[in-house]
């Protein structure tokens, strides 16, 4: 199917949707300057070729790109029901997606969680000095004198989920619940190889959702999307959202 026809069909499904869920991966943030992992110049791709990591600006200086703000547009149009992200860069929240509409499966680099009361707080709210106490990962050893939760006194750790760590149960369960309820599940910028996150699109499709995948790289062959885009996100996503607005008669 020609690109224009695919864009029109995606926009039609989204404009008619009552429960659109968007699922984003590392490719969503490449236009912000953050390299992805499995793309042609990704972190793992270069590593496997014996090359140094791709250049990246300091993550705390990176800003949301057009794609992030297009998600906010879909939310404001009443079309985005929920957004699930594998990214830890915090850019969806920075762009204006509220936390009650956002599941950050692998955490957020700006936040810590209390292991006792599950309170979510910034490093500044905790009083955590990374130069003194390190990054605060769950797998790091506890150091004498490090700050505890200001709410309950429990241990606080970075919200980022490291390799080998389990995903937060509440976030994962909410993501599965939202995917099961979705009528359109739109994957953007994910190679869909990291589980259990990669189980969500199939879960949505089995429960009747239309599955759209926008990713320039390869995905596992067991995925059978209803609509597939191989083009760049910056080429396709603005056109889809513009068409959605046309269909909704919004200028």
User: For this structure, is 92 an active site residue?
Assistant: no
Nearest in space to 209 (alpha carbons), one of 172, 184, 231, 230: 184
Q: Which of 106, 178, 210, 243 is catalytic?
A: 106
Residues annotated as catalytic are: 106
């Amino acid at each position: 199917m020609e690109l224009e026809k695919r864009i029109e069909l995606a926009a039609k499904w989204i404009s008619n949707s009552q429960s659109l869920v968007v699922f984003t991966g590392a490719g969503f943030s490449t236009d912000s300057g953050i390299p992805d992992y499995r793309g042609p110049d990704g972190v793992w791709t270069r590593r496997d070729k014996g090359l140094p990591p791709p250049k990246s600006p300091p993550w705390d200086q990176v800003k949301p790109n057009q794609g992030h703000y297009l998600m906010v547009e879909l939310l404001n149009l009443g079309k985005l029901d929920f957004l699930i992200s594998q990214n830890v860069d915090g850019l969806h929240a920075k762009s204006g997606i509220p936390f009650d509409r956002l599941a950050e499966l692998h955490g957020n680099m700006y936040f810590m969680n209390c292991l006792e009361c599950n309170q979510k707080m910034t490093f500044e709210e905790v009083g955590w000095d990374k130069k003194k106490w390190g990054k605060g990962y769950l797998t790091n050893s506890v150091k004498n004198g490090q700050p505890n939760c200001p709410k309950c006194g429990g241990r606080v750790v970075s919200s980022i989920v490291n390799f080998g760590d389990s995903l937060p149960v509440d976030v994962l369960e909410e993501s599965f619940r939202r995917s099961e309820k979705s009528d359109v599940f739109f994957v953007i910028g994910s190679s869909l190889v990291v589980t259990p996150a990669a189980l969500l699109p199939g879960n949505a499709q089995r429960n009747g959702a239309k599955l759209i995948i926008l990713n320039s790289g390869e995905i596992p062959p067991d995925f059978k999307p209803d609509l597939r885009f191989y083009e760049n996100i910056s080429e396709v996503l603005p056109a889809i959202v513009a068409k959605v607005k046309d269909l909704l008669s919004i200028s």
